[in-house]
Amino acid sequence: MKKLFSNKGLLLCGVGKMGGALLTGWHTEGLDLEKISVVEPNPSKWLISLKDLGLKLNEHITVEPEVCVIAVKPQMVERLLSQLSFSRTQNTLFVSIAAGIKIKKLNDLLGNRSAIIRAMPNTPVSIKKGVSCLIQNNNTSDEQMKLVETLFSVVGKTIWLNNENDMDAVTAISGSGPAFVFYLIEAMADAGINLGLDPKLAYRLAVLTVSGAGSLAETAKVPVNVLRENVTSPNGTTEAALNVLMEPNQGLSQIMRKAIFAASNRSKNLS
């Protein structure tokens, strides 16, 4: 990782939740902070502390970076790109993680010669457990794709898409998905508390159960429905709960479908 970039390095624009999660993962993995420049109008104390390790923060950038990661809110993308001070050529690869901003829009803002990759990582990249879905435009070289593959694979799994239209659904499932799981943990813990458990115990049980079940689903050689059936004894406790969760008209499947459709539609409207 330390020799991943040339002297031009990487420019990270925006260190909010997602940009911060990526920077945390890269720093943990050992990426040379001297090769990273950051533009962030409201830097945290943690971000400022990284300057002692060589990170360049809010400095005037005139030399085009090898990679420019756009990690600002979708509404800020156009303003950001108009303010970048370095001379833009096809030598810089632009990687956008701004939800809903399509490659065509980025092409219009950056020029038709620019190499562009859209990426949708999720916050577990901060602990190298993320998943990042990627798609490139026609100007992106194989070498640039390999560079981005390395950049995101060190903080989790990478999946290349064949159709940009899939990105809205990807955003809804994997981009927003961690929040759904966190809310599931909240709900499970709250139910345990209402049954009389100590709050710390209820929370720990919920976290460890979700974490363990996720790991089992990832490594198992059978589909998740088989894993579910393996836990479900006839007339047992799990079946009693699943009868509620799998209620045909208002069960978890219907609620989750409605939630993910709402997230996907919002992603479409952001552009």
CATH code at position 106: 3.40.50.720
Average pLDDT over residues 185-213: 98
Boundary residue ending a domain (164, 188, 219) = 164
Tell me the residue range of the domain where 210 lies.
177-270
The answer to whether 124 touches 96, Cβ cutoff 8 Å, is no
Are residue 144 and residue 240 in the same domain, yes or no?
Answer: no
pLDDT value, residue 60: 80
Residue 3 has a pLDDT of: 57
Degrees, nearest 5: CA angle 221-252-222: 5
Q: Are residues 160 and 206 in the same domain?
A: no
Alpha-helix runs per DSSP H in the chain: 17-29, 45-49, 77-83, 103-110, 142-153, 167-170, 177-194, 199-219, 224-231, 237-245, 252-270
Q: Smallest Cα–Cα separation from 70: which of 113, 110, 43?
A: 110
pLDDT tens digits for 150-198? 999 999 999 999 999 999 999 999 999 999 999 999 999 999 999 999 9
Cα–Cα nearest to 58, from 78, 83, 82, 93: 83
Please report, for the domain that includes residue 221, its CATH number.
Answer: 1.10.3730.10
Question: Which one has a higher pLDDT value, 134 or 80?
Answer: 134
Q: Is residue 3 part of a domain?
A: no
